[in-house]
Structure 1
Amino acid sequence: MEITSFPAIAICILSLIIFKLIFIKKISTAPPLPPGPWGFPFVGCLPQMLINKPVSRWILNLMQQFNTEIACIKLGGVHVISVTSPELSREFLKKHDAFFASRPDVLVARLASDGYRGLILSPSGDQWMKMRRVMASEVLTAGVFRRLHTKRCEEADHLVRYVYNQWKNPEKNGLVNLRDTTQHYCGNMSRKMVFGERFFGPGMDDGGPGIEEREHVDGLFTILSCLYAFGVADFVPWLEVLDLDGHKRIVTNALKNVRKYQDPAIDKRMEMWNLGHKSEENDILDLLINLKNSENEPLLSVREIKALIFDIMIATVDNPSNAAEWAMVEMINQPDLLAKACEELDTVVGKNRLVQESDIPKLNYVKACLKESFRLHPLAPFNVPHISSKDTVVGGYLIPKKSYLVLSRPGLGRNPRIWDEPLKFKPERHIFDEQTQVVLADHDLRILSFSTGRRGCPGIMLGSTMSTILLARLIQGFSWRPPLGTNNIDLAESRDDGALAMPLIAHATPRLDPQIYFQHV
């Protein structure tokens, strides 16, 4: 019995050895995670995250310490993958786009989207696909863009009249708050296209925003700031009830300020259509109310309409205003750049009329200044996060299922491997020849001005147009210089995001005949 069992035991031992060797080989040949810091059991790097604010700068500093363009930071049970390489970004959002097309479920996004009823913040699924079709096929079409042309022109005209009134105001002494001006131009433009009205209230006598518009825009920017801030509850969901970061309280209050103006306007308009008091579509809200499904029933519920309109508002208010403010401060500090932009506008448009959207294709230098602003001074530190639907190998690294993917906007735009003198504002780097038009989108992802792939921005045409007309009107309409007693304006960045640390205050002087500023009234 003992002799006959020996071969069986030997076979078992040999099998175990072979299995172990195969298992070890399999482990040794498995792709590694991207480089990253050591973390504690269970909580990962959450303690480091809590003491290193803002988190976006901490992550970029970590990547510099590890000398890597892709990093893995374990936060709670989540692998956060941060990327500053355009090649790897394209691999994520183009080659493996299908596996990174969804969004993570996080507190601020859930609150802002009313439980993911909208488009931008919603995870993949039937609701996201429905809203994507509505935005791409009904709202952000070339036809609707043309129909809203008059409303955009009205707001561009209002912009130069408002700045002109600031110059005329003896109390202002020619000084203009360009952060106020650019942000409220974007807010006015969005409200005009969506609601058909510039202001929710009466506004101010000089054409500036009233208390209603200030609360509305401030609320939008507050929500956006929390969207990009890493919250503890995003990685340890059971801590959400404690609201350790205060994000739930902050966003809830900001949403009240946004919705107390938007929602009554939507409800009133729906009632007008239901009672037959309105019969013609004049804006995006009318369009959304009248969308029908195959049974000729309303395609969208009231809550879905409100969620989509919120998406439009947060998508249009921040990037154009921030890019224009930064472009202006860089050009004021480098007067030769401002002179070159003025020369282009005088050549293409002249001084007898205001620049129009039809002039945009010929404004290569103005667009190059904007693109350089998007590159060097992005407002948001990251794109809206993506989440991986399966284990994927990207760039030779394992990206585990349910990882958060974030592309670093400043990391891409200031990557020294890609950009010569990356910290210098040089618009000329985007101009290749006189025949090639400068476009603000960069689908090679060397700049993250507008995202690409399944989650790409569907409003590139609108965003590019708003941004270009905003900057072009400011440059064409006025000469700009620093306030009296100063030679240069401080270019320090805000601690929390990519905004200028202090709002840009500059001295304006009209460049055109007075009647030009009021010729479209």
Structure 2
Amino acid sequence: MLLHTFLLREGLVAVLLFFITRYFIHSLFRKSSRPFPPGPRGWPLIGALPLLGNMPHVTLAKMAKKYGPVMHLKMGTCDMVVASTPDAARAFLKTLDLNFSNRPPNAGATHLAYNAQDMVFADYGPRWKLLRKLSNLHMLGGKALDDWSNVRNVELGHMLRAMCDSSRKGEAVVVPEMLTYAMANMIGQVILNRRVFVTKGSESNEFKDMVVELMTSAGFFNIGDFIPSIAWMDLQGIESGMKKLHKKFDVLLTKMMEEHIATSHERKSKPDFLDVIMANRENSDGERLSITNIKALLLNLFTAGTDTSSSIIEWSLAEMLKNPSIMKRAHDEMDQVIGRNRRLEESDLSKLPYLQAICKESFRKHPSTPLNLPRVSTEACVVNGYYIPANTRLSVNIWAIGRDPEVWENPLDFTPERFLSEKYAKIDPRGNDFELIPFGAGRRICAGTRMGIVLVEYILGTLVHSFEWKLPHGVELNMDEAFGLALQKAVPLAAMVSPRLAPNAYIS
């Protein structure tokens, strides 16, 4: 027994010495090459990983003030660069976009996204292009969005009536649960031609919890991603949690697909998104989507399609509860344009510049994805005179860009009026203005950018127009963040609502 313990200890020491030796040899070679961007030294072996803390987007923003707009961090055995200003983001996501069009391997892609068989984590290539093309043509593109506008209208009607019921009962509305339920049903109607949750209750709340868990765990900086040789140890327990969560989602998605296939004969005259995808699984180049690819795509659409938009709407409502004058100005604008005898319609949005300014200000201050999904360089390149080697991970700090005092006046204030001024009026969140890139930019910009903007403007506008909002008696507004792939409120927003429109407006 003593011999076994001695050998085990000696073996661990040998492994440790091997890694330390390799680290210092690597450091010597690095010193003789072209300069890397500045950044923190970090620790031997694990590099800057312990420096990031629980709120990496905040920590990296503080580091950027010291080291500059393009930072280099040694993360375990991997190199990582962080862009923290609009110009730095433009250099990577526009000038060098093709070189940074792939995703690095990571536990989230492996254990949650069916080993990167989805659209979000897939390598830039034929399969990704086919998934993207089909999604744009039949769900996420401009024409497709117009085609399912009635679905959004009907589901929003269900949500408004449920909120009126809560008002009559004197119950608070838990905003993220309500939004997830409505959005999942909207997406379910388009993909599967049915509501995925018939009644709001434990099943829909469990789905919300699963989505939040996925976004949280996928946002963690997992040690095994940066030191692959010890990934099997799962030191943080992240990967085991991902595997359990994946099984839950797979059961849900498999059930959806089986029920859908069994009823396909009922939709021959009116195919839904999944029918179209199944019928167009192969392109002219011979690229064919497997059932796993399709399940992975559904996972993308149901999770990203609900969580990112709902978090922006929740933050917007919280900011308006914190600043009642903003809510009043929005009400005044809507009453003048729409009145109080009918609901807001999507055709009204272009006539509501203050509402659009509120949405832009929320995208700026509370981007749903604080750190752009990581990319990785295919080849070595030079940025701002600094050498970036091949296989370097790229993280764009969207949260830091939105709070950059060199770009935004009083960036910590929530001031929608800034987007009505000449200086900021033309800035748009669709990926061309790098001061405001809540959905990313370039080839790997979020496929649901158009859908996200429509959902945020339409749903937020409807909620504001339809109700008076206030916090429950004795409750203080908590504006703390909870870090993840999507930036959640640490304490979900719960509010009291009271109808402000004519009763008939809630019927249709």
- Secondary structure of the corresponding residue to residue 489 of structure 2: coil
Q: Which of 24, 28, 42 pairs up with 1:39?
A: 42
**What is the one-letter code of the residue matched to 1:213?**
S
Structure 1 pair 445–29 and aligned structure 2 pair: CA distance change class (3 A): farther
* Superposed CA RMSD: 2.6
How far the C-alpha of 1:403 sits from its partner, in A, is: 0.8
**Match in the other structure for 1:14:** none
1:514 aligns to 2:500 (yes or no): no
**What is the one-letter code of the residue matched to 1:245?**
Q
Structure 1 pair 352–462 and aligned structure 2 pair: CA distance change class (3 A): same
**Match in the other structure for 2:106:** 106
Unaligned runs of 5+ in 1: 1-26, 204-208
Structure 1 pair 293–429 and aligned structure 2 pair: CA distance change class (3 A): same
Inter-partner Cα distance in structure 1 for 2:41 and 2:283: 55
The equivalences for 1:240-255 within 5 A come to 240-255=231-246
1:467 aligns to 2:460 (yes or no): no
- Secondary structure of the corresponding residue to residue 197 of structure 1: coil
1:192 aligns to 2:189 (yes or no): yes
Q: Retained in 2: the 8 A contact 1:34–1:398?
A: yes
How far the C-alpha of 1:48 sits from its partner, in A, is: 4.2
1:452 aligns to 2:453 (yes or no): no
**Match in the other structure for 2:479:** 491
1:289-317 deviation digits (Å, cap 9, x = unpaired): 22254689995332221111111122211
- Secondary structure of the corresponding residue to residue 455 of structure 1: coil
1:423 aligns to 2:412 (yes or no): yes
Inter-partner Cα distance in structure 1 for 2:429 and 2:283: 38
Inter-partner Cα distance in structure 1 for 2:210 and 2:397: 24
Inter-partner Cα distance in structure 2 for 1:61 and 1:140: 36
Inter-partner Cα distance in structure 2 for 1:73 and 1:211: 43
Q: Retained in 1: the 8 A contact 2:126–2:287?
A: no
How far the C-alpha of 1:131 sits from its partner, in A, is: 1.9
Unaligned runs of 5+ in 2: 1-29
Q: Retained in 1: the 8 A contact 2:127–2:289?
A: no
**Match in the other structure for 1:5:** none
How far the C-alpha of 1:31 sits from its partner, in A, is: 4.6
Structure 1 pair 450–222 and aligned structure 2 pair: CA distance change class (3 A): same
Higher alpha-carbon deviation: 306-315 or 295-304: 295-304
**Match in the other structure for 1:266:** 257
Structure 1 pair 278–337 and aligned structure 2 pair: CA distance change class (3 A): closer
**What is the one-letter code of the residue matched to 2:150?**
T
1:225 aligns to 2:216 (yes or no): yes
How far the C-alpha of 1:176 sits from its partner, in A, is: 1.9
Inter-partner Cα distance in structure 2 for 1:31 and 1:405: 19
The equivalences for 1:225-374 within 5 A come to 225-273=216-264, 276-291=265-280, 293=282, 299-374=288-363
1:62 aligns to 2:63 (yes or no): yes
1:464-510 deviation digits (Å, cap 9, x = unpaired): 11111111111111011222246x62323336674322111222111
Greater C-alpha Rg: 1
1:74 aligns to 2:74 (yes or no): yes
Structure 1 pair 127–297 and aligned structure 2 pair: CA distance change class (3 A): closer
**Match in the other structure for 1:210:** 201
1:213-236 deviation digits (Å, cap 9, x = unpaired): 222222122111122211011011
- Secondary structure of the corresponding residue to residue 453 of structure 1: coil
How far the C-alpha of 1:147 sits from its partner, in A, is: 2.2
Higher alpha-carbon deviation: 364-373 or 67-76: 67-76
1:336-385 deviation digits (Å, cap 9, x = unpaired): 11011011111221111111111111121111111111111224331110
Identity percentage of aligned residues:
27
**Match in the other structure for 2:123:** 123
- Secondary structure of the corresponding residue to residue 317 of structure 1: helix
Inter-partner Cα distance in structure 2 for 1:408 and 1:311: 22
How far the C-alpha of 1:44 sits from its partner, in A, is: 2.5
TM-score (norm 1): 0.85
Higher alpha-carbon deviation: 29-38 or 382-391: 29-38
Structure 1 pair 452–44 and aligned structure 2 pair: CA distance change class (3 A): same
Number of aligned residue pairs? 478
Inter-partner Cα distance in structure 2 for 1:210 and 1:40: 48
**What is the one-letter code of the residue matched to 1:37?**
P
